[in-house]
Every structure is written in C-alpha cells, then in structure tokens.
Amino acid sequence: MTFVMPVLNERGYLRRAVETVLAQDIPGPTELILALGPSTDGTTELARELARDDARIVLVDNPAADIPVGLNLAIRAGRYPTVVRVDAHSELEPDYAREALATLDRVRAANVGGVMRADGRTPFQRAVARAYNSPIGLGGGAYHGGTQEAEAESAYLGVMRRHVLDEVGLFDESIRRGEDWELNLRIRRAGYRVWFDPALSVTYWPRESWTRLVRQFSATGRWRGELVRRFGRGNSLRFFAPPALVLTIALALVVALLQLTGVLHGWWAVAASVVYLPLAAYALLVIAVALGPGGGHGWRDKLWTAAVLPTMHLSWGTGFLLGVIGGAHDTVDTSRLGSRNTPLP
C-alpha cells in the first residue's frame, strides 16, 4: 500500500501525521511518499530526519509546491496497487487503512473515503473545527459528518485503486484547489464507484489563525468558481449557497443606501426591506450554532464560532464569484506559506 502526502511548511504537524501512517495495522508492505515543497520552517529537514529513521519513507521533490503536482509525483513514485492520500494536517486511526481496504473490496469501489473529524487546540482552532464538523459550516457534504454509508460525489483524502488512477489520468495539475473533487468526477464518469463509509474517520487540524483561514477559503472558493466554469451542472447546488449570501448582503447594502438617501420611500421602501429577512435568519442561525450544544470550552470558543462561520462563508463566496467571473488563473492557497506552526502536544 502506497501512502502519498504533499508537504509544505508543516513542521508542527508532520511528525505526528507520519507516525499515524506508519502505525497502520495492515498486512503486506507499505510505503509513505512525501512530496516536499520548498518549505521555510524546517519541514524538509524534519522529513529527511524521519526518512533516515524509517526505510518506508520515500522523499520526492515538489518544487512547484502545488498539491496536485506533488500528489502525482508521489503516486508515480509508488510501487503498490492501492494508493492512500493523506495530509500533513491529518492523523489516522490504526485500523483506518485496513478497514478502508475491506470496504473497497466489499462494495467494489475505485475510491473510498470517510469522515473528516476536525479538532483544535486553541479557542480559534476549535471554533474552526466546530464549523468544519457542522452542516452549516461547509454545506453538509457527507464527509463532514454523514452517518449513512453510500455512493458519494467525492471522498475525503481517499483510498484508491492505482489502476483506476492510471486509467483516468491521475490528478489534473491545472487545478490547484478542488483537485480531489475533479478526480472523483472523472472516476465516476468512467463508470467506477466512489464510496463514503462513516466508519472511517480522520482527525484533521484546521488553520490556526483568522488570516490564514481567510486566505485558505478565498482560494478554495475561487477554484470552485473555476470548476463551475469548466463543469457546470457537475457541481452540487450546495456550492452556490455562500455566493448567494454574498450577493444578498451586497443587495441589502444597496437597498439600505437607497432608503437612507430617500430614493426609496413609502411603500417601495417597505417592500424592499424584504431583502433583510434572509440576512436576519442567517444571523440567528450563526448565533444558534455558536451558542448551541457542543459549543466548546467557554465563551471564547462561542465568540470565535460566531466569527468563524461568516468568515468562512463570505471568504469562500467572494472567491467563488471572482472565480466564476474571471477564472482562477494562478490563484494559490497562501495560508501555509511562511508558516510557523506550533507543534502539537
């Protein structure tokens, strides 16, 4: 089994991520291919240290730093018929790969994924994790908390058959975000099955600061806009909710300005006020999520949750609109550039 992991500025998370991969309880040989981007925080040096200590770790250079390029480099360097995508911000349970292999064979799928269990150490990171785990936060995709095993649109990370990857052409290196969704679209269009199994779960550590979260979601939204330009109806309707929120806010601001200046008055001003209703409903929803059960470790967690949800939605939605209008071009996720991640205890 070949595990593939693109890595860039992940010194604070890499060691633990690698340990959980190498601890997988599966029969047969394994290898972990690390595709190393040009890190500036000591990640490359740590990766070399880990590789010296365990012959199962193989290093390949990814000077472009793009995730799909790194994934393809790692896959091509691999030797085994099953490919497991892993992330430096992820931690696997010891039986993850074994159970995924069993599901892969049982349902005769080409790709199997499970649930992303986001977690955090600080009030901010816990708030982001809570948003990830909520259907309100990321739109209710199966891998953000689904409970029913079924065919899926995409798979988080993914345990994949190498021969299918070779057949459909690996990851599209022109897509810098959403590359997994696009690959799974090609897999499904080729007649293969993508499967969600909620018994599989992966711990994921989100971004550690507000600015990195904004950069991450802006880039992801812009690339989703690009994918809408390329694939149209192949995109789920849930992707259109954040840009609809952004447009509603813009419309509400215009209406408010016209009301304040007297351009809209009387019955017209009253009728136009209907635009505020969905925004009021959205604000109440955010407050309900922030104050609801599972609200974290105190008032700071709740306040950050109330701030994180609209941050994610508005960053993503604005990026989406820019991507639909002008395309993604060379947009990259800069949220890990120059990172100084704090090691986890």
Among 36-50, 114-128, 131-145, 265-279, the minimum mean pLDDT is found in: 131-145
Q: Are strands 111-118 and 159-161 parallel, antiparallel or unpaired?
A: antiparallel
pLDDT bin (cut points 50, 70, 90) of residue 294 is low
Residue 217 lies in a domain: no
Identify whether residues 270 and 171 lie together within a single domain.
no
Domain identity same for 150 and 63: yes
What's the distance, Cα to Cα, between the start and end of the chain in Å? Answer: 29
The stretch 258-266 carries a mean pLDDT of 93
Tokens of 298: 């105190």
- The answer on pLDDT for 45 being more than 90 is yes
The one-letter code for the residue type at 35 is: A
Q: Which of 88-92, 269-273, 287-291, 340-344 has the lowest average pLDDT?
A: 340-344
Computed on alpha carbons and rounded to an integer, the radius of gyration of the chain in Å comes to 21
Residue 262: is its pLDDT beyond 50? yes
232-248: per-residue pLDDT in tens? 877 888 889 999 999 99
Distance CA 23, CA 255 (A): 58
Q: Is residue 335 part of a domain?
A: no
62 and 176 fall within a common domain: yes
Confidence of residue 342 (pLDDT cuts 50, 70, 90): very low
Structure tokens at 57: 């770790």
Same domain for 164 and 39: yes
Examine residue 331 and state whether it is found in any structural domain, yes or no: no
Rounded mean pLDDT of 167-193? 95
Q: Are 252 and 292 contained in the same domain?
A: yes
Q: Do residues 77 and 109 both lie within one domain?
A: yes
Does 214 map to a domain? no
Query: Which residues are CB-neighbours of 38 under 8 A, at least 6 positions away?
Result: 8, 44, 63, 65
User: In the prediction, which pLDDT does 264 show?
Assistant: 92
Per-residue pLDDT, averaged over 318-336, amounts to 91
Domain count, the chain: 2
**Spatial CA neighbour of 159 closest among 65, 95, 70, 236:** 95
> What integer is the mean pLDDT of 304-311?
95
Given 208, 223, 241, the domain boundary residue is 208
Q: Could you tell me if 22 and 117 lie in one domain? A: yes
User: Does residue 70 lie in a domain region?
Assistant: yes
Q: What percent of the chain has pLDDT over 90?
A: 81
Q: Which residue has the higher pLDDT, 239 or 35?
A: 35
Residues 204 and 236 in one domain: no
Find the range with the poorest average confidence among 252-261, 273-282, 299-308, 328-337: 328-337
pLDDT of 341 over the 90 cut: no
Q: What angle do CA 198, 200, 205 make, to 5 degrees?
A: 105
* 176 and 41 in a common domain: yes
CA torsion sign for 136, 144, 229, 69 is positive
Cα–Cα–Cα angle for 15, 16, 19, nearest 5°?
85
Q: Which two tokens stand for residue 212?
A: 């990195």
Residues 252, 149 within the same domain: no
Q: State pTM to two decimals.
A: 0.88
Do 284 and 157 lie in one domain? The reply is: no
Q: Is residue 24 part of a domain?
A: yes
Q: Mean pLDDT of all residues in the chain?
A: 91
Does residue 33 fall inside a structural domain? yes
| 297 confidence band (pLDDT: 50, 70, 90) | low
Q: Is residue 314 part of a domain?
A: yes
Domain residues for the domain of 80 are: 2-208
Find the farthest-apart pair of alpha carbons in the chain and give their distance in angstroms, rounded. 77
Of 37, 46, 30, 104, nearest to 68 (Cα)?
37
Mean pLDDT of 273-286: 96
**CATH number of the domain enclosing 106:** 3.90.550.10
Are residues 240 and 168 part of one domain?
no
Closest CA to 315 of 247, 238, 218: 218
Distance of CA 253 to the CA centre of its chain: 31
Residue 318 token pair:
């604005």
Q: Is the pLDDT of residue 114 over 90?
A: yes
